[in-house]
Amino acid sequence: MESTRGTVAELVMQGWNDHRTGLWFEGRSLTRHEVAAGAAARAALFADLLEPGDRPHLGVLLHNTPEYPLWLSAAALAGAAVAGINPTRGGAESARDLLHTECRVLVTEQAFRPLLDGLDLPGVRVLVTDTDDCADLLAGYEGVEPDDSRATPADRFLLYFTSGSTGAPKAAICTQGRLVAAGRSLVRHFGLGADDVHYICMPMFHGNAVIADWAPALVSGAAIALRRRFSASGFLEDVRTCGATYFTYVGRAVSYVLATKERPDDRDNPLRLGFGTEAGVVDAAAFERRFGVRLVEGYGSSEGGAAVQRTAGTPAGAIGRAAPGDDLAVVDPVTREERPPAVITGDGRLMNGNEAIGELVNRGPHHFEGYWRNPAADAARRREGWYWTGDLFYRDADGFLYFAGRTDDRLRVDSENLAAAMIEGILARYRGALSVAVYAVPDPVAGDRVMAAMALDDAGSFDPDVFAAFLAAQPDLGTKMAPRFVRVVEVMPVTATNKIHRVGLRREGFRCADPVWWRPPEESGYRRLTDGDVAGLVAEYRARGREELLPPAVVRPAVGDRRP
């Protein structure tokens, strides 16, 4: 039965007298009562660790072990906020994130202890969960009953970091009330209930796992099943073992599962729904054919400012329409004028991208609660009374919205604005393409040039003549869209949340360790980029005073060192 309670703490409390299974992990389980009891003990310990005047902010640097939801629940009872620390950012960056969010306690595990070696963390108490010292501390609080009296819907609960594609990541604020509202919305939208089992395989330092998976489980009273780290090969076995019915995903996770070896019993599983972003139309259809599980692509600004909901009749490729209460528009970020409707062919090709693509804004009330200690970023999101998502979209004549990438991924080529996601959609049609990323490298004169990284089913099969002919045959490929450089990778680099690591690709540019093919000016075909070509390009940048825009060179193999 769905709860109508208004704080996360109250949702934790309702498990106190419930002895149904609440959590699965690596063959072990906890009842909902044991989860509530564990949360109460940790909340009391956390309160005693704080000094007078300390902000009740808790850093969590953990894999998806039971300790993660236990400390989230403890923070809710304590009226505290959790800053999820991304272990892939490195030690110095983790220290920056902890100090920026003013965490006075950091909960971690022995696997991440080396990450903290040598770091200056003044005033931060470190608890290592899988040690006798931590167990002894918690033993002193055994038997403490949960108390939700300190929590209110307005309490900060999450300080979760954005991806940080430019500069240091920003810590978005999510209150207890907003998290409960988000969980309640998903429960209603998808018909989730207490008999469901939510499989959490995405990292819990990321908003997707907490907001879209853990929160609706709390609201409905469902059990959760944890995977320490995402595993494509272990996905189906986990789902069957714990009886998972619902899961969330981001980035390339779905494609990695699809890349595992097919078996005749793949459809023999309890799943009924997957919810996430960036699976893509092709992979979503393939997943449903193979596993009998519907994937629903959704869009919600992680900061809470805008949402798009998929409804019956949503065309292939579209995300959906504006969620109830949102006044969404696709606008020119400079003039604020609405973009014209998209012209889309019967096979889903966008024919007027340069005119139709703009930034998605919410002109009505929104739930953005700000960034922690970042007034400039707050102002940029809220400028001129609108909420600016930072995401590119286009809208068809019937009002359906289509995602076209991040504003950070927009390229400006010969004074024309291009959306990387649109070019990626075209290149993904190339024979054998498993994954595609499009990004900007600086032009020697002004603006950008288009570069693409492509992972193929056979990394040595790239044929420059076939590729050039393919581009020439694409009716929706504008004259400025064809990549100047094509990097062929064996495996597409990804972040900890399985999203393509575009920042790393941009940083390396065309002077990378992988084979690169390029189309020289005034030429229609592609050829292998040589050291001599690179030297000539660098000299051109230097002559025009733009060499400093190039990323540092990476040691490149000679052309003959790898298959062409």
Could you name the CATH architecture of 321-399?
A: Roll (2.30)
Burial class (CB in 10 A: 0-12, 13-18, 19+), 189: middle
Kindly compute the dihedral angle of the four CA atoms of residues 12, 17, 18, 23, in this order, to the nearest 10 degrees: 50
Q: What is the pLDDT of residue 379?
A: 94
CB atoms within 10 A of CB 424: 23
Q: What is the pLDDT of residue 163?
A: 60
Task: Describe the crossing of helices 32-49 and 132-139 by its angle, rounded to 10 degrees.
Answer: 100
Q: How confident is the model at residue 541 (pLDDT cuts 50, 70, 90)?
A: confident
**Number of residues that make up the chain:** 564
- Domain edges within the chain: 8-177, 321-399, 410-561
Q: Is the pLDDT score of 12 beyond 90?
A: yes
- Fold of the domain built from segment(s) 8-177: Rossmann fold (3.40.50)
Rounded CA separation 242/235 (Å): 11
Rounded CA separation 451/470 (Å): 16
Q: How confident is the model at residue 421 (pLDDT cuts 50, 70, 90)?
A: confident
pLDDT tens across 227-279, in order?
Answer: 999 999 999 999 999 999 999 998 778 988 998 999 999 999 999 999 998 78
Instruction: List Cβ neighbours of 200 (8 Å cut-off, separation of 6 or more).
Output: 64, 209, 213, 214, 224, 225, 226, 227, 247, 248
Q: What is the pLDDT of residue 482?
A: 94
Q: What is the pLDDT of residue 252?
A: 78
Instruction: List Cβ neighbours of 226 (8 Å cut-off, separation of 6 or more).
Output: 23, 24, 25, 64, 65, 66, 68, 69, 200
Contact assessment for residue 392 and residue 401, using Cβ atoms and an 8 Å cutoff: no
Mean pLDDT confidence for 125-142: 97
pTM (2 decimals)?
0.82
Please state, rounded to an integer, the average pLDDT across all residues of the chain.
91
Q: What is the pLDDT of residue 166?
A: 44
- Fold of the domain built from segment(s) 410-561: GMP Synthetase; Chain A, domain 3 (3.30.300)
Whose tokens are 């609080």? That residue is 141
pLDDT tens across 378-413, in order?
Answer: 999 999 999 999 888 999 999 999 988 778 787 888
Instruction: List Cβ neighbours of 442 (8 Å cut-off, separation of 6 or more).
Output: 448, 449, 541, 546, 549, 550
pLDDT tens across 195-230, in order?
Answer: 999 999 999 999 999 999 999 999 999 999 999 999
Burial letters 356-390, b for 16+ CB under 10 A, else e:
bbbbbbbbeebbbbbbbebeebbeebeeeebbbbb
Q: Is the pLDDT score of 3 beyond 50?
A: no
Which carries the bigger pLDDT value, residue 299 or residue 484?
A: 484
Mean pLDDT confidence for 558-562: 43
DSSP 334-388: TT-PBPPPP-B-TTS-BS-HHHH-EEEEE-S------BTT-HHHHHHHTGGGSEE
Q: What is the pLDDT of residue 278?
A: 78
Rounded CA separation 205/496 (Å): 10
Q: Which two tokens stand for residue 177?
A: 């009330």
Contact assessment for residue 441 and residue 449, using Cβ atoms and an 8 Å cutoff: yes
Which carries the bigger pLDDT value, residue 279 or residue 119?
A: 119
Mean pLDDT confidence for 491-508: 89
Portion of the chain with pLDDT greater than 90, in percent: 72
